[in-house]
Structure 1
C-alpha cells in the first residue's frame, strides 16, 4: 500500500504498520490538506492487514497548525465547511479503530498539537520542537470537540491549565514530565520508537470493532455530549458570530505574518 499526494504520503513501514507522513513544509491545515489526510485514513481503513498507524511530519515540523493566510482568503461558507471538516478529522483520529501513534519529529502547534493528542501514544523528539496550544495568545478559541479532547487527554490539572489557558510551550522533556507524551527520544530514534510502540501494542491483531467501541465510550460519548450541549445553547446568530470572529482573527493574524 502506497499513496503519494501533495500534502501527505502513505506507506507501510513494517508488516501491519502504516505511516502517514505530512510532507507539505510546515504542514499547516487547510481544506486541500484535510481532503488528502482523509483519503489516507480511508486507505488505511480499507487495508485489513494494517494493525496500527503512525503519523509524522518532516524536517523540523510535525504540524504548525492552521493555515491562517489560506483561511483569511476564503469565504464565510468555505470556512464554515472547513471548521466542520477540521473537527471531523480530529474526531476520526481520536476514534480510529486501531492503535494510533504520533511520531512528533518537530514543532506541534495548534491543530498539530491537537492531532498528536488525538492519537493513543505520543513520541517526541528532544532538542528541537515545541508542543503548544497557542489559541488564547493568538485570540482564537477552541471548538467544543477540540476543547473536550484536550480536557480528556491532559490529565493533570496543572498541565491542562498551563497548556490550554496560558499556551505554555513544552520541550519534549517538559512534555514528558507533564504527562503530555509517552516518551522523549533523540532525533534519529523518533520513528524507531514509534514503530516499537506499534509492534508492542498491536503485536497481536486487535479487533477493530472492539477498539473503536472502547474509544467511543472513552472519548466519543463525552465529546459528542459537549458538542451537542453547546450547539443547542447557541442561536444562529451565535454560530454566525463564531464563524465571523474566527475569520477576523485569521485575517488579523495573517496580516502580521
Structure 2
C-alpha cells in the first residue's frame, strides 16, 4: 500500500513531511495519525534537520480534519481516547526542537488547522480556506485548537471563529496574524509550499543551536509570568554561550565575512 505519510530531505537541512492520503483528503484516521506520530518521533533527535515543513501532496487540500467515517464507528470512550492521542500528537509537533512550517495550499479544517497551528510558522495561498469547524459538528476543537488559536489571533477573534465555525481565506488569515505569509496561488498549486521553502532558506543561514534555543525560550516563556520568562531566557542563553557557533559568529563579524555555522 502506498504510504500515507512520507519524509523527504531537501538541501540536507530541510525535512519535509509529505501528507498523501489521497482518497480521504488527508483526514486524520488511525493509520494516518500513527504514521505522523512515528515520523515526528524520529525528528525529535534529528540534529541535521534545521527546519521541518509540513505539506500536502493532495491537490487543494492540506488536511480535511477528522476522519468522520472512522469516528462514526467509535464508542464515546474510544472517540475520547482517540482525540486525547491526537492532542498529544499536536503537542509533540509543537515540541519539536527545530522550527516547523505548515505550507497550507488548500483546505485546513478542524484538526487540519490544529495541525497547522501546532507548527511554529504558517504560509498560505490566498485561495486556501482554514477554520475550526467543530461546533458545526456538535463538538469543540479537541486537538489544541481552543488553546493555540487564541494565542495566535487573540481571544475575541478566536472565540468568534470557533463559535461560528467560519472559514477564512489567505488574505484574512494574514490580517488576523493566523499565518505569517500569504501568496497568490500558482498553476501548479504549490505556492504556499514554495513560500515555506523561501522562509526555511531565510532560517538556514542562522546558527542552529541559537535558533533552537530561541524557540525553546519563546515557547516556554509565553506560558509563564514575565519574571519567570526572563529566567527561562537566561537559561537558554547560557546554553549558547559555550558553542562553537557563537565563537564563529563573533569571528565572522570581526572579519567582515559570512559566518559558517555547524550546529556545534
Aligned residue in 1 for 2:9: 12
Q: Distance in 2 between matches of 1:13 and 1:163?
A: 35
Q: Residue 136 of structure 1: SS of its match in structure 2?
A: helix
Aligned residue in 1 for 2:95: 95
Aligned residue in 2 for 1:236: none
Farther-moved stretch of structure 1 (186-195 vs 32-41): 186-195
Preserved CA contact (<8 Å) 2:83 2:143: no
**2:85 paired with 1:85:** yes
The correspondence of residues 196-235 of structure 1 with structure 2, limited to 5 A, is 196-207=198-209, 208=212, 211-218=215-222
Q: Distance in 2 between matches of 1:154 and 1:39?
A: 30
Aligned residue in 2 for 1:51: 50
Give the gaps of 5 or more residues in structure 2. 226-264
The higher-RCO structure (CA 8 Å, 6+ apart) is: 1
Q: Distance in 1 between matches of 2:165 and 2:60?
A: 20
From the superposition, tell whether residues 82 and 5 of structure 1 become closer, same or farther in structure 2 (CA, over 3 Å): farther
Which of 191, 214, 218 is matched with 2:193 structurally? 191
Deviation at 1:45, TM superposition (A): 2.5
Q: Deviations over 1:177-204 (max 9, x none)?
A: 2221111113343222101111212422
Deviation at 1:116, TM superposition (A): 1.0
Deviation at 1:73, TM superposition (A): 1.2
The correspondence of residues 1-257 of structure 1 with structure 2, limited to 5 A, is 6-25=3-22, 26-57=25-56, 58-127=58-127, 129-143=128-142, 145-155=144-154, 157=156, 159-188=157-186, 189-207=191-209, 208=212, 211-218=215-222
Q: Deviations over 1:160-181 (max 9, x none)?
A: 1331221221111121122211
Give the gaps of 5 or more residues in structure 1. 223-257
TM-score, structure 1 normalization: 0.76
Aligned residue in 1 for 2:249: none
Q: Residue 11 of structure 1: SS of its match in structure 2?
A: strand
Q: Distance in 2 between matches of 1:33 and 1:112?
A: 13
Runs of 4+ residues deviating >6 angstroms: none
Q: Answer with 1 or 2: which has the greater Rg.
A: 2
Farther-moved stretch of structure 1 (44-53 vs 209-218): 209-218
Q: Distance in 1 between matches of 2:143 and 2:82?
A: 15
Farther-moved stretch of structure 1 (39-48 vs 175-184): 39-48
Q: Distance in 2 between matches of 1:144 and 1:173?
A: 25
Q: Distance in 1 between matches of 2:42 and 2:2?
A: 12
